[in-house]
Chains A and B, each alone.
Chain A
Amino acid sequence: MSKVVEASRAPALAARAHPTGWARFREFVERESVFSWLMLTPPVLFLLAFLGYPFFYGVYLSFFRREVTGPATFAGLGNFVTLANDPIFWQSVGNTIKFTGAATLLKAVGGLGMALVMNQNFRLKAITRAVLLLPFIVPTVLSTVAWQWIFDPGLGLFNRLLVVSGLATTGVSWLGSPTMAMVSVIMVNTWRGLPFFGISILAGLQTIPVELHESATIDGAGSWGRFRHVTLPSLLPVIFIVTTFSIILTFFDFQLVYVLTGGGPANSTHLMATYAYSLSMGAGQMGLGSAVALSMVPVLGLLLVLLTFYVRKD
């Protein structure tokens, strides 16, 4: 392609007896690789400064004992040893796994259901889709504050409905007991993230050719058979990618728990992200906080490798 361009330019250039410095500069800039890197340099520099540097500085920090005040002292793997002997750290690891596992499963199943329901013809479909996505687009912190009020032990919506309907006399301590707090946190995360699954899977459903369903019907497949042998296999790539994305987002979630429970009661809902925050910002131990954050990297790495393999395979 570039040959064609150069050939077409040649007469124009030859017309000038002496190519000036400016013309030569222009020719240089017009080269594909030069033009590319001129464009790329600003964003690459920006990302190096504000993503690359903090990442490696975080790795560096995790090898130091560093309080907010006072100088840093080299600790080697000391921070990681401290964490390995820290029961709250292990509790937060367990919580993160439980939280991510349960919420992702609920979102995937619910999202598939939402997509199947939405994949029918009915009036006001576009508006319904917009409404169903609302939990996902409204600022998470703001909807989480509303949930905190829904969970309020005395006057919250849930307990009032329970008492009014006669299902319970006193109501449930939603955020006050360790088990229920975890259930509540998972519930809110599911509420928020389900539309992401639903709308993405719906988009995937709409790419399945109608002919596939028709030929399956002709072959005598019922609606379950068609779902099992046509719909689900065609959806697997979408479900896989959306699930991986969602696992990453859920595993590293911070704001929901920070606002709803602050990690309590008794650290029962502390996630690794909120624990890293409370160590580094609350207790001022930047090194230890960095170490907690860094210990999440292997999980991210694993998910990224999985995702890459999957995308390559296609």
Chain B
Amino acid sequence: MVGELTWSKRIFGLWIPLALFCVVALFPFTWMAATSLKTNAELYDPKASPLAIKHPSLVHYIDLLRETNFLTWIANTMLVAVVATGISLLLGSMLAYPLARMRFRGAPLLAITVAVTYLVPQTLLFVPMADLIGRLRLGNTLSAVMLTYPTLLVPFIAWLLMGYFKTVPRELEEQALIDGASRWRAMTRVILPLCMPGFISAGIFAFTLAQNEFLYALLFLSRSSVRTVPIGVVGELIRGDAFYWGQLMAGALLGSVPVALIYSFFVKYYVAGLTAGAVKG
């Protein structure tokens, strides 16, 4: 009797809602994949079943790689994301370390400023930013986005790292200083190595954000050879009013794969970064 009750509870309280959440989360990706693998004849046949694939074909992928600069966009995206993440981690930890572990004048004000800038959306900044990048003559260069993405990432990274830096006991640092190490040495040899999980979390987060960024890429990168994946797919695979859905979905899927792969290796760290603000703060 009790067993039956728990069984129905498991089915209605767990398995059915869970299945629903999974189906909702995944069906757009399934639809993407199904579309990209169909030939145009099958794709635009209203009588064909929308989800079944009768004649799987890689023609859209081949066309995508042949006719567009897709591989260049992938390379650009990776390069930009790596550089922007590197710059952001460096600047972010330079900001977070003193704020988390030292006493100095202006610390409270600076801490509040960092928290506020973290929440200032780029929508507020894009008009003057476009002007600034134009005057620096950085339009249509990858440097434009490599320089502007860290503005979105540094405050967040600093905020996240501060939490990790604070967890290292002060005694460890003091011991190193007593042993004759400089502050720099104490930081680089003692404190920072203990905060590796924080760096991985911040890095993964920054990396996926940099790969997803759209607005600045849209503003600054109009030449095909310097585009990133999101802006390349939207800007060049949608040609006029005619949609090449097969190729578009192939591009959207291939563009998502690198992000999803990296994410799947580091899910734990990603979730730690995602929930750090809401749960700890």
Contacts and interface: CB of A to CB of B under 8 A. Distances in A.
Interface in A239-267: 241-242, 245, 248-249, 252-255, 258-259
A154 B47 CA distance: 12
Contacts of A199: 271, 274-275
Given A131-B25, A157-B50, A196 B13 contact: no
B170 interface: yes
Interface residues of A, number: 102
B139 interface: no
Interface string A32-49: 110111011011101100
Considering residues A47, A120, A142, A304, which has the most beta carbons from chain B within 10 angstroms of its beta carbon? A142
Nearest to B16: A117
A58 B120 CA distance: 13
Contacts of B116: 304
B172 interface: no
Interface of B is mostly: helix
Interface residues of B, number: 100
A105 interface: no
B151 A32 contact: no
Interface string B39-74: 000011010011100000000000000000000000
Given A130-B267, A157-B31, A204 B278 contact: yes
Interface string B92-136: 101101100011110100101000110111111111111110000
B82 to A, nearest CB: 16
B158 A43 contact: yes
A10 interface: no
Contacts of A204: 275, 278-279
B178 A5 contact: yes
B267 A147 contact: no
Interface string A191-207: 10001101110011001
A33 B120 contact: no
A94 interface: no
A102 interface: no
Contacts of B264: 130
Interface of A: 1, 4-5, 8, 12, 26, 29-30, 32-33, 35-37, 39-40, 42-44, 46-47, 50-51, 53-55, 57-58, 61, 113-114, 117-118, 120, 122, 126, 128-135, 137-143, 145-147, 149-150, 152, 154-155, 157, 160-161, 164, 191, 195-196, 198-200, 203-204, 207, 238, 241-242, 245, 248-249, 252-255, 258-259, 272-273, 276-277, 280-281, 286, 289-290, 293-294, 296-297, 300, 303-304, 307-308, 311
Interface of B: 13-14, 17-18, 21-22, 24-29, 31-32, 35, 43-44, 46, 49-51, 91-92, 94-95, 97-98, 102-105, 107, 110, 112, 116-117, 119-132, 147-148, 150-151, 154-155, 158, 170, 174, 177-178, 180, 182-184, 208, 211-212, 214-215, 218-219, 229-231, 233-234, 238, 243, 245, 248-249, 251-253, 255-256, 259-260, 263-264, 267, 270-271, 274-275, 277-279, 281
